[in-house]
Copies of this chain bind each other. A is one copy, B any other.
Amino acid sequence: MERILTVRDMQARAEALRREGKRIGFVPTMGYLHEGHLSLIDEAKKHSDIVVVSVFVNPTQFGPHEDLESYPRDIDRDEALAASRGAGLMFYPSVKEMYPGTQQTWVQVEDLTGVLCGASREGHFRGVSTVVTKLFHIVKPHVAVFGQKDAQQAAVIMKMAADLNMDIRILVAPIVREADGLAMSSRNVRLTPENRKKAVILSQSLFGIREGLLKGQPAGALLEEARAAISAVPGAKLEYLELRSYPALEELTELRGTCLAAVAARFGDVRLIDNVMIKI
């Protein structure tokens, strides 16, 4: 698979592809690919002639005390995995290539970004929406695929693309889970074996909430019970467990339409997120 390192080369390649009438599918990632990412490539392939996968651990979406340095990286493995699923191009820029000077321009999506992960990760979504805008201008895709694992991110990107009239179809693909239910994440490899087992409480709690809601049980009690269950796991530190409308991420005054049950918790120094979508 061809690996492109510079913005200029990627833009020229994208422009040439578009001139040939090729539809470009795009899967932006932070690398250390797993089956979740690969399912996004599968989805992108369905809607395009060539799939570009970007691997870029974007510093502007990490807070000062977050895991930018320890985020796992293995570009050769990523390239082999992406190629095995039929991706055609890998865009792999350096931090200096993406941020050659002082970044003074930021894309900010209001309202959606102050809740859930945005409440504790200040500036995170500003970094995400800005880097995704940059990547869109570099890769020039017709269609871009994001994972539902990052449900809030997907909501932010969809709203951003609509508000800024980006002529790009945004698709969101389902979460891929391990056999025991844990949502796949590049960060899972950083869990201790013990915490890896404990982390299943997140998906179990979400599945329990979904089941309860579909049976008509009261949301408040289901959420309280799940929060207590997670907090009772030794070493688990719950950050939030909430039920919100989707994709507007508003507090629910009534259970109707598409709801998102979303959770974030720490196991040791590893922060995990998960969610389920519930159609009522």
Q: A interface vs B, CB < 8 Å?
A: 7, 11, 15, 18-19, 21, 101, 103-112, 129-130, 133-134, 137-138, 140, 159-160, 162-167
Contact = CB atoms under 8 A, between A and B. Distances in A.
A125 B129 CA distance: 19
A7 B108 contact: no
Given A104-B163, A105-B108, 15 more contacts: A11-B167, A15-B167, A18-B18, A19-B19, A104-B112, A105-B109, A105-B110, A105-B160, A105-B163, A106-B107, A133-B164, A134-B163, A134-B165, A137-B165, A140-B167
A234 to B, nearest CB: 41
B111 A108 contact: no
A177 to B, nearest CB: 31
Nearest to A105: B163
Q: How many copies does the complex hold?
A: 2
B110 A138 contact: no
Nearest to A98: B165
In the A-B complex, the 10 residue pairs with the smallest Cβ-Cβ separation, listed nearest first, are: A105-B163, A137-B165, A104-B110, A134-B165, A105-B160, A105-B109, A11-B167, A138-B165, A137-B166, A106-B108
B15 A137 contact: no
A253 B104 CA distance: 22
B107 A107 contact: yes
A134 B104 contact: no
Nearest to A163: B105
Contacts of A112: 104
